[in-house]
Amino acid sequence: MPALVALGRRWQIGSDDFVFPGFVDVLIRVSWVMAGCIIYWKEDDKLSCEGGHLIRLYLVGNFVVLLSIIFANIALVQNSMIGNMYETDARKNVVPCLYLRLMLTIPEIVWNGFGTYWVYSNTIICDQAPETLLLIKILTVSSWVLVFIMLCVMGVAFDPLGGKAHSFEDMDYERFQSSVLHGNSHTKLWERRCKFIMCSCVGIDETHRRAFRDIGKIVGYLFEDVDLVPSDLAAGLVLLNLKNNGALNSLQRTSQGQGTPVANSPKTKNFLEESSYEFETDRWHSPAVVAQDSSDYGKIPSVVALDSKNQQSHLNPIEGDNCCFCNTAALKLTTGVKDVDLLYASFENKVFQTPFFIALDHGERFIVVAIRGTMSLRDAITDLSAEAKPLDFPGIPAGCKAHHGMLLAAKNTFEKINELGTLQRAANNYPTYTVVVTGHSLGAGTAALLSLMLRSTYPNLRCFAYSPPGCLVTEEAANFCESFVTSVIVGDDIVPRLSVPSFEKFKNDLIRAIKESKTPKYRILVGGCWYLLMGGVPNLAYQENGGAGEDGRDSTPLHDSSQDQPNYHTYVSLAEVSHQMQRESVTRCRMFVPGKIMHVTERPIFESRPDLRGDGPRYEHRWASREEFSDIKVTPKMMHDHYPDNVYAALDDIASASSRSTFYSVI
């Protein structure tokens, strides 16, 4: 950090990123030199055959080339190890060493070409030295593989915008209009990347193009002012994880033994039992859940066989399933819903359209609408379309905004439900039943927004949102739905903490952590890997609050603020102002988790002693505020706590414990 400047452009690699590649390259070349010397020493007396002089010539020339590359790599690695990530001046000799290493690739390719021609064109015929011929063949093939890998690495490290000045210079009216309507080079670049990654899997139409533009705009705004390379992000995540763990351990030491018992009231029991059931209805989308019990493997074929033999056996409409109704069979097996109670199921999966089903639960007197979470690239596009758009539905306060992708998914589900009339007929046939909308992750966000749309028609509606995204609704909408939406978050789950403003803050925290660190990047990465695999605390040096102001924020501007204030009568300044306004409208619109929040956490004793599985409840719960989820926490469990199986296990543990013991919470 910052990115390396070489060959007249920026690259997505830092001057301190050559330690590991150079070290590995040295080991490979040394092994080749040793193998060549051993074979040459053993079979030198056998090289009097036809072409033997070419074998000697190749081995000697290859020895010289390999030694030159080894010494160049050692110099490159040594200079790349100097200083911390911000001390680029200390690594000023990296670029000359890199140029030398690249220049040595030319004689390597030329000499390898000669060796390939001599060995594979029968120029060398030497049956007396088969091991030598085999070694030369291995060396030539391996050299070509390394050259190919080097070219691939250069392609990955290539920055398409590395040769451009990231400014609004030479702006005329046409360019100004284009920048306002279609975004700048950063947004266009990320839009093209999204198309390249996803179009082969999801196709392309106007809906996809619009989604790609939105994604490109958001990602471009987030990364346009940051001079980071991928390895900087990895090192920064290690540093944040270590710092967060230090703060967490300190908090646990001060709060240990201060748990407050929560009354084991019927209301608490009922809520936990209902929420555990509702999450069960959302687990149908996870294949891992279907097969979590080995006894289920024997059940699946019989259910599928029944559906494949008689596709008309379904009493209610099923859309988007395959010819054997395998998805429907998995849904029935996982949830235990009877065919007569499965009122409707849609497995249609498109951008802004998520699968869902409507079912009856006579035991709890619920009419359940369950929406599937993220399982495909189409769902990922919906997730990433995170710009805030107006939430204009009857009964919702004016000015409320919601996640664009999930808002469109909720609208499509709402229109489908109204078109079918299934939910209305069920409500009429069972007037004492409560309409319950539920989902996990993407399904949770869609369910919460769908409940806002259905609330005026079904006043007794309830919504259970499991691990909902933190970028779902603005504060006004989140407060409005507290009476009927309950969000359940487990542990350090990253998704409820993830929003554009929180990512912006996380980005600044990451940059500050990198600035505070006085340890070279290679040591951070090695120490972080050792810490994650083996435990312990890496020996990393920090300069506390380095580059930070009194409020803890990074005082070093990401942009150079020393420039003159823009002249608002030029297209340059107009483009700058327009771009800044568009960027702030995306990055500064605060979004939150909807409704009332129940936070489920693992008891501290179980975090340190996972073997204590039978010693009381493993998890505890409490009501939390939305501000607690405004920052991203970097921990090893931030993804683990989001998986549906783990969420269900936590709720099941709490629901089971509610009937046998008192809950404790660190409120």
Angle at 511 between CA 508 and CA 517, to 5 degrees: 140
Question: Among 336, 272, 333, 270, which residue's Cα sits nearest to residue 653?
Answer: 272
Question: Among 448, 462, 440, which residue's Cα sits nearest to residue 413?
Answer: 448
Alpha carbon 100 to its chain's center: 37
Catalytic-labelled residue, pool 16, 17, 379, 493? 493
Catalytic-labelled residue, pool 15, 441, 499, 658? 441
SS (H, E, C) 435-485: EEEEEECHHHHHHHHHHHHHCCCCCCCEEEEECCCCCCECHHHHHHCCCCE
3-state DSSP call for residue 493?
coil
Is 441 annotated as catalytic? yes
Could you tell me if 600 and 651 are in contact, meaning their C-beta atoms sit under 8 angstroms apart? yes
Q: Is the dihedral of CA 16, 18, 24, 29 positive or negative?
A: negative
Could you tell me if 514 and 236 are in contact, meaning their C-beta atoms sit under 8 angstroms apart? yes
623: its two tokens: 């009501």
Could you give the C-alpha distances from 355 to 348, 350, 426, in angstroms and in order?
6, 9, 20
* Long-range pairs for 390-397: beta carbons < 8 A, 24 or more residues apart: 391/449, 391/452, 391/473, 391/477, 393/452, 393/453, 394/456, 395/455, 395/456, 396/452, 396/477, 396/480, 397/476, 397/477, 397/480
Tokens 């030491």: give the residue. 253
* Close Cβ partners of 117 (under 8 Å, ≥ 6 residues apart): 123
CA distance 437 to 431: 17
CA distance 143 to 62: 11
Could you tell me if 545 and 513 are in contact, meaning their C-beta atoms sit under 8 angstroms apart? no
Q: With 0-12 CB in 10 A as exposed, 13-18 as middle and 19+ as buried, what is 236?
A: buried
Is 493 annotated as catalytic? yes
Could you tell me if 632 and 503 are in contact, meaning their C-beta atoms sit under 8 angstroms apart? yes
User: Quick one: which H or E segment has residue 370?
Assistant: strand 366-371
CA distance 391 to 397: 9
Catalytic residues: 441, 493
